[in-house]
């Protein structure tokens, strides 16, 4: 629903007098006693600006997330959208304050941010808003990855609540219409309207959303989706490499290794030139360990993988949890390569290739078979690889195709025999050949035909 005129006027008036409210809250005004005398349904917009002023006056207030969640639970979506900018600022302040406190505070702030995201977007929470970014940040900090993944799964990046991206930062993204793209004209850029209702998604919000979404998928061990979001975060158009993009690239390399996406350390061609230059200098930057790890895994050098993981760079970057999963992923990757080269192989030989004791190698193979990651059977001390479902499907398709070709060949052979032995067809073909042969109209110029009846020879002159 569109905001009513009175609520819109009240929101604009309170936004213009926000500094006075902040001064009032800084002077020690009792916010809880004010909230008790106000009705959420009737005074929802006014409560939002009181909470916003309190968040600015006391940024580290532990009760802000609780008050915000309580108000968002009872407020209507229309009221939240009218006070959109105030709500966005409150959620940001609550999230930043909660992430330096124990995890329960971050979880409460994350729940409040989720409520704000659902009511700020008119599509039921599937349109990207700044509150989505703050919700993911709090939920990831609280290690509530399942809740963060549910929010990321239903958020559509192609739909932005404000229908525009702000261009106040260097890494802004310009939206060009189809007509402008074909005509080659430069799009006209308008500054976002300064209103209490407009909720603008900054490019920094988009980058941070992609980064925290990737971390959430990592927490749920969904490394393919994590690599997808981290790749988008790394390749967002920008004039300089940001700290978030660099952190996303480090985790992108590890997620590519865990998801068996090759090449793991390469940036897409559509990445920004600034990010590409920064990655190209990885020989002197802290990114060297990640590039060397990717090279070692892709070359199946497990000894080099173990040596590289001893580097303290993974501890400094906070990626030790992902890095410790790389050796197991590298061994599983090597087992899949062996399945392409062998039909039967001794388990002891597999253990030697994996640099594991025979018992640990057998346990790894049993785990891969139990998780349907490998179609194989262990007979005594031998490992026998079985055809995969995809190979079965290809073989069945090839067999049916060959049978169809065999039937077609038999039918063509039968038709050829019928044509070669049918007298009617032979007579018709001979008659058509005789009538169509141009040599039948050429006169007979043999010597015997050129002799006159009296056997007198004549001389013929041709032009």
336-345 residue pLDDT tens: 888 888 888 8
Own/partner pairs for 252-256, CB < 8 Å, 24+ apart?
252/214, 252/227, 253/290, 253/291, 253/293, 253/294, 254/290, 254/293, 254/319, 254/322, 254/323, 254/326, 255/214, 255/218, 255/223, 255/226, 255/227, 255/230, 255/322, 256/227, 256/294
> Region 423-447: what's the mean pLDDT?
64
pLDDT bucket at 226, cuts 50 / 70 / 90: very high
pLDDT bucket at 253, cuts 50 / 70 / 90: very high
Centroid of chain to Cα 15: 38
Structure tokens at 262: 């090759």
User: How far is 396 from 374, CA to CA, in rounded Å?
Assistant: 20
- Strand duo 382-385 + 344-346: pairing: antiparallel
User: How far is 120 from 125, CA to CA, in rounded Å?
Assistant: 8
Residue 449 has pLDDT above 50, yes or no: no
> Could you give the C-alpha distances from 193 to 84, 121, 284, in angstroms and in order?
13, 18, 44
User: What percentage of the chain exceeds 90 in pLDDT?
Assistant: 20
pLDDT at 233: 93
pTM check: above 0.85: no
Minimum mean pLDDT among 11-20, 112-121, 125-134: which range?
Answer: 11-20
pLDDT at 163: 42
Nearest to 351 by CA among 341, 339, 360, 338: 360
Nearest to 235 by CA among 278, 175, 283: 278
Minimum mean pLDDT among 85-89, 407-411, 430-434: which range?
Answer: 430-434
SS3 377: strand
Question: Between the ranges 2-6, 231-235, 375-379, where is the mean pLDDT highest?
Answer: 231-235
User: What percentage of the chain exceeds 70 in pLDDT?
Assistant: 77
pLDDT bucket at 216, cuts 50 / 70 / 90: very high
Residues 6+ apart with CB under 8 A from 227: 214, 252, 255, 256, 259, 261
């Amino acid at each position: 629903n569109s905001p009513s005129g009175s609520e819109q006027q009240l929101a604009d008036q309170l936004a213009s007098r926000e500094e006075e409210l902040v001064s009032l809250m800084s002077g020690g005004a009792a916010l809880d006693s004010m909230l008790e005398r106000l009705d959420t349904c009737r005074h929802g917009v006014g409560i939002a600006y009181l909470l916003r002023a309190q968040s600015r006056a006391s940024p580290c207030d532990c009760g802000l997330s609780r008050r915000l969640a309580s108000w968002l639970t009872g407020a209507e979506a229309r009221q939240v959208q009218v006070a959109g900018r105030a709500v966005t600022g409150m959620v940001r302040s609550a999230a930043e304050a909660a992430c330096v406190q124990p995890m329960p505070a971050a979880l409460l702030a994350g729940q409040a941010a989720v409520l704000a995201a659902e009511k700020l977007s008119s599509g039921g929470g599937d349109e990207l808003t700044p509150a989505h970014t703050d919700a993911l940040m709090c939920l990831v900090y609280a290690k509530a990855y399942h809740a963060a993944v549910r929010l990321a799964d239903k958020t559509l990046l192609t739909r932005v609540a404000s229908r525009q991206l702000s261009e106040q930062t260097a890494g802004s993204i310009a939206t060009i219409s189809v007509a402008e793209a074909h005509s080659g004209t430069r799009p006209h850029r308008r500054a976002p309207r300064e209103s209490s209702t407009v909720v603008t998604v900054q490019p920094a919000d988009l980058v941070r959303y992609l980064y925290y979404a990737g971390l959430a998928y990592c927490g749920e061990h969904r490394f393919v989706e994590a690599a997808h979001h981290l790749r988008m975060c790394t390749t967002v158009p920008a004039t300089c490499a940001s700290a978030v993009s660099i952190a996303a690239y480090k985790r992108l390399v590890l997620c590519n290794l865990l998801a068996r996406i090759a090449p793991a350390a390469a940036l897409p061609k559509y990445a920004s030139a600034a990010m590409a230059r920064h990655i190209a200098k990885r020989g002197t930057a802290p990114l060297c360990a990640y590039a060397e790890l990717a090279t070692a895994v892709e070359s199946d050098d497990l000894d080099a993988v173990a040596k590289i993981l001893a580097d303290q760079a993974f501890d400094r970057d906070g990626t030790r949890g992902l890095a410790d999963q790389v050796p197991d992923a590298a061994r599983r990757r090597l087992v899949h390569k062996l399945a392409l080269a062998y039909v039967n192989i001794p388990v002891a030989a597999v253990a030697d290739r994996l640099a594991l004791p025979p018992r640990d190698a057998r346990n790894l193979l049993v785990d891969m078979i139990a998780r349907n990651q490998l179609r194989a059977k262990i007979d005594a001390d031998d490992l026998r690889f079985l055809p995969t479902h995809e190979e079965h499907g290809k073989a069945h398709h090839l067999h049916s195709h060959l049978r169809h070709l065999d039937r077609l060949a038999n039918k063509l052979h039968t038709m050829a025999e019928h044509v070669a032995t049918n007298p009617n067809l032979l007579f018709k073909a001979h008659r058509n050949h005789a009538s169509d042969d141009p040599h039948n109209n050429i006169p007979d110029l043999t010597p015997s035909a050129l002799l006159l009846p009296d056997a007198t020879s004549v001389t013929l002159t041709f032009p």
